[in-house]
Amino acid sequence: MTIRLDGQVAIVTGAGRGLGRTHALALAERGAKLVVNDLGDDRGRSANAETVVDEIRAAGGEAIAHGASVSDPAQVTDMVSQAMDTWGRVDILINNAGILRDKTFLKMSLEDFRLVLDVHLMGSVNCTKAVWEIMRERKYGRIVFTTSSSGLYGNFGQANYGAAKMALVGLMNTLHLEGAKYDIRVNCLAPAAGTAMTEGLIPDAVYELLTPESVSNGIVFLSGPDAPSRKVLAAGGGGFAVFKGFETPGVNLLSDGLSPEGIAAAWDRIDAEAGMSELNAGFEQTTKFATQAAQSLGIDLSKQTSE
């Protein structure tokens, strides 16, 4: 089934070039009306964003540019207000804006750590907060955060970037739960693409394979009416995968050596992957450990909870 976004309004941050640009063009090609955001000058004008708007309009689409800094809540509010004034709705938010300030943690200043969190994490929070009530009232929304393998797995010299990117997965997990009954579906994209941010960091041959356009197909999918929710879609070079966080079944030590030494002795069993599962909410972990503790002590929780 063809995915169409006719009549819907999408905001793409950091869309003046690279992945953001191809995201915006791909959404416009499927019928969406675009707010193309990219950091503007002192007057709030973004030449890069305006160029992308011209591309969309030349292809017959509708788009406006906005130079908001995503780390400034007032500017973000103005951007969303302009979208509402122009089209009266916001259906899709693609949080793509980002920066790099790579150094080893030893050499990294706290200012550079905060700056990266302000743009990646708080920038996404600001934009999502600005559209959340709109989507809630309409009982429809599609939100994508841009995470990274640097957050999911770590990457040398990117403590600030990795921390921000993994934080977005945690944000997704909770907003998925809070938005579910309003059909607000929240996902993450973990892209591997040859862009200005990765140029020089990966070999030229690999850079050429990892086209931004291939990744943007994933954005269209996550923006569609049948999109999943609470998924981390990894994408690169035409390949797609899903990152999942699993937890081992674990071992209860209440009746069998509850001590640091007991943990050490049972470590191989605690770390064993057989039977591990993906949890859907934090309370499921609490329930698992409570159940194990009760079983270890011979307590029937069903009787306790029914009284």
Annotated catalytic residues are: 161
Question: Please, are residues 150 and 234 in contact by the beta-carbon 8 Å criterion?
Answer: no
According to the 3-state scheme, what is the secondary structure of the chain? CCCCCCCCEEEECCCCCHHHHHHHHHHHHCCCEEEEECCCCCCCCCHHHHHHHHHHHHCCCCEEEECCCCCCHHHHHHHHHHHHHHHCCCCEEEECCCCCCCECCCCCCHHHHHHHHHHHHHHHHHHHHHHHHHHHHHCCEEEEEECCHHHHCCCCCEHHHHHHHHHHHHHHHHHHHHHHHHCEEEEEEEECCCCCCCECCECHHHHHHCCHHHHHHHHHHHHCCCCCCCCEEEEECCEEEEECCEECCCCCCCCCCCCHHHHHHCHHHHCCCCCCEECCCHHHHHHHHHHHHHHHHCCCHHHHHHC
